Structure 1
Amino acid sequence: MIPLWSRAQQQDYRSRVRGALLGGAIGDALGAGIEFDPLEKIRTDHGPDGVTGYVPAYGRRGTVTDDTQLTLFTVDGLIRAHVRQADGGWHPPTDVHHAYLRWAATQRDWGPDERRKDLGWLGREEWLYAQRAPGSACLSGLSGPDADRLGTLAAPKNPHSKGCGTVMRAAPFGLLLGWEPALVLQLAVECSVLTHGHPTGYLAAGAFAVIVHTVVRGGTVEEGVELALALLADRDGHEETAAALRAALAAVRAGEPSPERVAGLGEGWVAEEALAIGVYCALVAEDVRAGLLLAVNHSGDSDSTGTVCGSLLGALHGETALPAEWLAELEGRGTILQLADDLVLELSHGAELHGPAAGPAWRERYPVG
């Protein structure tokens, strides 16, 4: 449960949660149409400044990718974990794993299977049933004969993978406001190894969650980075993630922001590079628009770096700071808003929603079994 706050504090928290999920989706959609293009091609196709807004991807403007899809299913899993806790059960990685399996079904099915009782409302959103260049580790970790096995730190899925698919979906763990930062990191790690088992992959996800958590609590991005570095120091295999975060801080001090400085941090295909680029762009952003455009105009995984940066800037400034014209065209905006508000409701009023005196509506939205 989140702390008892004034109405103004509750409204601020809701705005930051909405901002994190919508901002991440906007960054995802800005990068979706140029994800595989080198910077030279981006500038040739869209002008010397690169993209300055949405460009068509998957048949329309404002389209999101697997980054947003998986982020939404992460939230769905976290809500169900809290519903289950009210019944005396508590193991969030299990509920998040089940949520990711429901996401995997959206990548192979034409639409929701109405015979399934576990889908909940999110699993019945037909627009989510679309392949948007899903990462290979996410797909392999959630399909085949080993799909139902829960990856753990002792026996992770894809033990050699540190792809960015573990980072771009990790912002929701940072939205668990009442948690201590070390527990936020641990939960993000335990849910990362469901698909990505390399220490850099899961520790980069944990670090990202801690930075989001710091920002949602009212801190700065830089304070979040410093806290993440302190928590990483005790973790085996933290060196690549820590070095990437320090490189992001050094790039801030190196001079004027530019795509060339972004390129010095990598291309974003692997976890620590996506984290470093997203963090750097959030740190140097004059505003949300400038930060997001810097985060996507580079040679590499533009949608994932946009997702990381957008999640941070949205959490930092709240939903009202997001550019209205980008919000207006964003695919799935209503779904994202609903899920953000449901997370806040569950964390603040869960007992009223599924306690002994509550009706069945909430448990039908978020069934556990």
Structure 2
Amino acid sequence: MTETAERQALESYRSRVRGSLLGGAIGDALGGPVEFWDLPRIRAVCGPDGVRSYQPATVDGVPGHGWITDDTQMTLFTVEGIIRASVRTDRGLGFTVAVLQHAYDRWLDTQQLDGPDGTRDGWLIGQRWLYSRRAPGTTCLQALETARDGHRSISPFGRPAVNGSKGCGGVMRSAPFGLVWPGAGYPLDWTFDAAAEAAGFTHGHVTGRLASGALASLVGALVRGRSLAEAVEDTLGLLERRDGHQETSRAIVRAVEAARHPADAAVVESLGAGWIAEEALAVGLYAALAHPEPGEVLDALALAVTHSGDSDSTGSICGNLLGALHGETALPPELVFEVEGRGTILTLADDLCTEFTVGRELHGDYGPFTRWTTRYPGW
């Protein structure tokens, strides 16, 4: 690869990473205020074309627009955990997905404390705006609290959750695994399995894990330059080799088949409400397949959130996919500029790219400790 081609590849990669994380956030913020509305109410308030702009909402007593939910909060901690696991690798300790459970434990602090208390390391935990409860999933909270209690007694982090949940709280945070730089040597099989393992820290049902791996695989294939149809094919191939894949595979196939017909909210609702993992994945994927072109991102996001179900999760999944497919410049600017936490989101996106492309120049093998490793300690 020539120097020019390598630079262009890196620029495309950065745009896709930024696009996926921002796209997920704006889909989340678009769907958040209408999450508990039924379809007739959404159409009565937003019009027959559905939710195409941020609806007003009050969070922590402050009225505004573009508020993110726990979906984006947990996605950001997933990014941070992946960076820290990579720092650990470059320090000679090896990549372990258990680092992600520590990241989610830090997110748990943001749901229990009023603000940073100075007891946790790293950069993200110090972002005061994240200390806000945005209707976090009960399953995530209970599983992480159980893991924390176990860690304080006899059970180390890194153990899977002991529950039968396949709620969407695992899949909605899993896209960042697909954003790891393809040139770093992590194949798509690894992407799938790492995301599935991380989802398993809170969701014990096989479908909850495999749907999470499937989203990460879809995003990873798109980052590698595959089309959306090719990404679906790649992901179905990975699923077929894993026990218990049938629910997730069927949901993806149903989304593909639905996208052959004119886009409509009734079709969305036929795929499910999105409260469980495979349904959330199917709705988000369907909306992306129904409107796959760069100029159709707002149409896709509106389709993904205009239904009587978990609109923020399905919107974030759709945004993750189309952002990874087209890059950040395809995202609707009127939504991008107003989304909460944009600066933090873009900083994390750029730091993820930096870690996986030139990270060794920042910290190297086995140390020494640097400002980068203070920002992202390897545990």
**TM-score, normalising length: structure 2:** 0.92
Which residue does 1:126 correspond to in 2?
A: 128
Q: What percent of counterpart residues are identical?
A: 52
Between the aligned partners of 2:17 and 2:162, the Cα distance in structure 1 is: 30
1:95: Cα distance to partner? 1.1
Tell me, what secondary structure is at the counterpart of 1:79? helix
1:200-279 equivalences under 5 Å are 200-253=207-260, 255-279=261-285
Which residue does 2:179 correspond to in 1?
A: 175
Tell me, what secondary structure is at the counterpart of 1:107? helix
Q: Unaligned stretches of 5+ in structure 1?
A: none
Deviations 1:50-88 (A, max 9, x none): 222001232320000000000000000000011111222
Which residue does 1:96 correspond to in 2?
A: 100
Between the aligned partners of 1:117 and 1:274, the Cα distance in structure 2 is: 33
Tell me, what secondary structure is at the counterpart of 1:130? coil
Please state if 1:199 is matched with 2:206: yes
CA RMSD between the two structures: 1.8
Between the aligned partners of 1:306 and 1:72, the Cα distance in structure 2 is: 16
Between the aligned partners of 1:36 and 1:142, the Cα distance in structure 2 is: 25
Which residue does 1:78 correspond to in 2?
A: 82
Q: Unaligned stretches of 5+ in structure 2?
A: none
Provide closer, same or farther for how the CA distance between residues 166 and 7 of structure 1 changes in structure 2, counting only shifts above 3 A: same
Tell me, what secondary structure is at the counterpart of 2:211? helix
Which residue does 2:144 correspond to in 1?
A: 142
Between the aligned partners of 2:65 and 2:134, the Cα distance in structure 1 is: 14
Which residue does 1:21 correspond to in 2?
A: 21
Between the aligned partners of 1:162 and 1:5, the Cα distance in structure 2 is: 42
> Is contact 2:181-2:353 (8 Å) kept?
no
1:310-325 equivalences under 5 Å are 310-325=319-334
Deviations 1:288-309 (A, max 9, x none): 1110010000110000000000
Between the aligned partners of 1:177 and 1:86, the Cα distance in structure 2 is: 15
Amino acid corresponding to residue 137 of structure 1 in structure 2: T
Show structure 1 runs of 4+ deviating over 6 A.
356-359
Which residue does 1:355 correspond to in 2?
A: 364
Amino acid corresponding to residue 18 of structure 1 in structure 2: R
> Is contact 2:151-2:157 (8 Å) kept?
no
> Is contact 1:161-1:198 (8 Å) kept?
yes
Provide closer, same or farther for how the CA distance between residues 211 and 204 of structure 1 changes in structure 2, counting only shifts above 3 A: same
1:174: Cα distance to partner? 0.5
**TM-score, normalising length: structure 1:** 0.94
1:93: Cα distance to partner? 1.5
1:359: Cα distance to partner? 6.7
Deviations 1:325-354 (A, max 9, x none): 111111000000000000000000011111
